[in-house]
């Protein structure tokens, strides 16, 4: 019975851990793409920076699913997805 609980706990924890390790990589991708595209439309640039900041805060708060979503949206606006 205890083994079943351990397996269940690990299966729930591992996807979160996988997402957590992606967040810093995605943050770096957004930063690199911003550096490559300094002449983006001002409104688009503002939205990307907001999404990047939100993603960083969500990552720090442990909400890695939302963090990945924010970074993906920023990368989409940057044309990197």
What is the three-class DSSP state of 78? coil
- Whose structure tokens read 């911003």? 34
Domain residue limits at 64: 2-77
- The tens digit of pLDDT for each residue in 11-69 reads 444 344 455 578 999 999 999 999 998 888 999 999 999 999 999 999 999 998 999 99
Cα 70 from Cα 9, distance rounded (Å): 27
In total, how many domains does the chain have? 1
């Amino acid at each position: 019975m205890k083994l079943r609980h351990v397996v269940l706990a690990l299966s729930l924890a591992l996807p979160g851990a996988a997402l957590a390790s992606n967040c810093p990589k995605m943050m770096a991708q957004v930063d690199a793409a911003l550096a490559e595209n300094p002449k983006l439309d001002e409104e688009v640039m503002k939205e990307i920076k907001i999404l990047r900041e939100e993603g960083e805060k969500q990552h720090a708060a442990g909400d890695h699913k939302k963090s990945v979503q924010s970074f993906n949206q920023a990368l989409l606006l940057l044309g990197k997805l």
